[in-house]
Structure 1
Amino acid sequence: MERIGGYLVERRLGEGGMGTVYLARTRGGRAVALKVAKAELAADPVFRERFRSEVEAARAVGGFHTAPVVDADVDGDPLWLATAYIPGPTLAARLAAEGAMDEDGLRSLGAALAEALESIHSCGLVHRDLKPGNIIMAVDGPRVLDFGIARAAESTRLTATGTAFGTPGFLAPEQALGHDVTGAADVFALGAVLVAAAGGSAWGEGTPMGLMYRSVHEPPDLSAVPAGLADLVSACLAKEPADRPTPAELLDRLTEPVPD
């Protein structure tokens, strides 16, 4: 079996535009998710510097709702990042298999994601690509994944091209427009995730450009969202970042007693 950075690679978990994720193990047998950057990215000095910065910041992220960074090589070839391996299906897979969540399930999901964003934002980070495919439905609750490689790649591409990089349908208007991005963009994505978990789609179906246009110019489709959550989800999806609730405010709203 192949070894990367002293980790024994067992199998590939997934592959994307940024690189490949493997299930690997330490010499003592502990499982990790090993994320290896693509060679063409690693060859870019700008990416390497961004990757170093992102890894240093991501190491500080704690909380119960993320996958902690446990190791990384920011100088070698290949570049890689190891996080704790969190078994479980993605939220996207769970929804495909089991269908939409009810209001209680949506509140629990939203509260867990709000806690995760609190941890991420408190370290000066913005996730920028929160979506059902980056959320693992672990035994102990949802976990937000994808730090380091994807975020460093996004920063590099933004610097080089001035264009948005992320997932249309969950991308905040300011991301679609290439403006400065703050933690409010993650709150917008959280709102779109809750719409998806309710069985809907905030901006419908269409091309990436079409979805981004709608997120900037049109109101979201909240028809699938339970009435008790519609106002809160609508606030998350506000066009202006300053009009969206903070993760702490979201957590308060999602965990307050529901009237009979």
Structure 2
Amino acid sequence: MTDPLDVITQSFREPGLVPGYEISSILGSGGQGIVFKAKKTAIGRTYAIKFLRPPDHVNPTTWRNSELGNLAALADMRHPNLVAIEDRGETKSIPYLVLEYAGDQSLKTLMTQRRLGLKDGLRWLRQTADAVQYLHDHGVLHLDVKPSNIYVLDGRAKLGDFGLVRLQSHSGAVDLSLAFGTPEYVAPEVVSLHRASPVSDVFGLGRTLDDLLIAAAVTDDRQPASWLMELATESTAMEPTQRPSLIAFRKRLAAPGGIRKVAFRSLRPEPRSSGAKGSPRFRSLRG
């Protein structure tokens, strides 16, 4: 099957593809789109440009108009823990978003490289929760909160990748009939009901906290080898609240009980109230 973004990847060095920018290379791609590194010719500053991938079996015009509306809602968003949005537009019938270039250091990168300590991780997660709450306060759901979308720039967390953002309805919920994010970070109500609300983003924060606790255990040489072996052999499909090794680690973790409480409450498998605001609870986390 032909990728709708082939028209972009085959012509990204074409002058004027995105007016005012010179695209140089591909930074990455995924199910929701492809990201390029670019320079704003007027000032020579580096940016990231994300082109959104149209979903299969959807009217292209309907999808494009919907996405352009979602991107317009982000145009004036400014928060110290959000990747800054410079511009938006459409080229070759593909919507795009011009973003602050946040580099290549994300929470996922730090976890993979075993360089993420608990204290820094919790601080960056609190900052991410502040950004999520800011979006919610402005009627926007992110719907793709996960470690690879949380960048660390100049010692500060910045939530990026706005390819799945949706505007909330008056009820606080939104129908998701087209696509949703990375499976392990998607809330149960999104999967089963195709409906999302602010607490759906809280689930992504909870999963990220879960990953952070595991990363802290792997980084900490004081953790017993038997625990690490148990973690490595468990099914990753199991609900985190049911994983015995993770429960054991939380008990061993020399941290306030509030961390365990936040993780468990955020990852409850049953659908949560669509009107709840859960992001503030992350602000109390301390390492």
Fold in common (TM above 0.5) = yes
- Counterparts of 1:43 and 1:34 in 2: how far apart (Å)? 24
Q: Deviation per CA, 1:27-70, whole angstroms, max 9, x where unpaired?
A: 12121110123477797112101211111111232211111221
Equivalent position to 1:69, from 66, 77, 85 = 85
2:173 matches 1:145:
no
**2:285 match: secondary structure:** helix
2:123 matches 1:108:
yes
- Counterparts of 2:46 and 2:177 in 1: how far apart (Å)? 35
- Counterparts of 2:78 and 2:134 in 1: how far apart (Å)? 6
2:40 matches 1:10:
no
2:122 matches 1:91:
no
- Counterparts of 1:230 and 1:144 in 2: how far apart (Å)? 23
Q: Deviation per CA, 1:174-212, whole angstroms, max 9, x where unpaired?
A: 1121242111111111111011012268xx645xxx56x
Give the match for residue 230 of structure 1: 260
- Counterparts of 1:37 and 1:88 in 2: how far apart (Å)? 20
Give the match for residue 285 of structure 2: 254
**CA 1:172 to 1:43, structure 2 compared with 1: closer, same or farther past 3 Å?**
closer
Matched letter for residue 18 of structure 2:
G
- Counterparts of 1:11 and 1:43 in 2: how far apart (Å)? 30
Aligned CA-pair RMSD? 3.0
Give the match for residue 202 of structure 2: 187
Q: What pairs with 1:115-194 in structure 2 (closer than 5 Å)?
A: 115-147=130-162, 149-151=163-165, 158-159=176-177, 165-194=180-209
- Counterparts of 1:35 and 1:26 in 2: how far apart (Å)? 14
Q: How many residues are paired up? A: 238
Q: Cα distance, 1:236 vs. partner?
A: 1.8
**CA 1:25 to 1:108, structure 2 compared with 1: closer, same or farther past 3 Å?**
same
Q: Cα distance, 1:22 vs. partner?
A: 0.5
Q: Cα distance, 1:25 vs. partner?
A: 1.0
Superposition TM-score, scaled by structure 2 size: 0.72
**2:196 match: secondary structure:** coil
- Consecutive unaligned residues of structure 2, counting only runs of 5 or more, are 1-12, 167-174, 216-230
**2:78 match: secondary structure:** coil
**1:190 match: secondary structure:** helix
- Give the percent of matched residue pairs that are identical in Structure 1 and Structure 2: 21
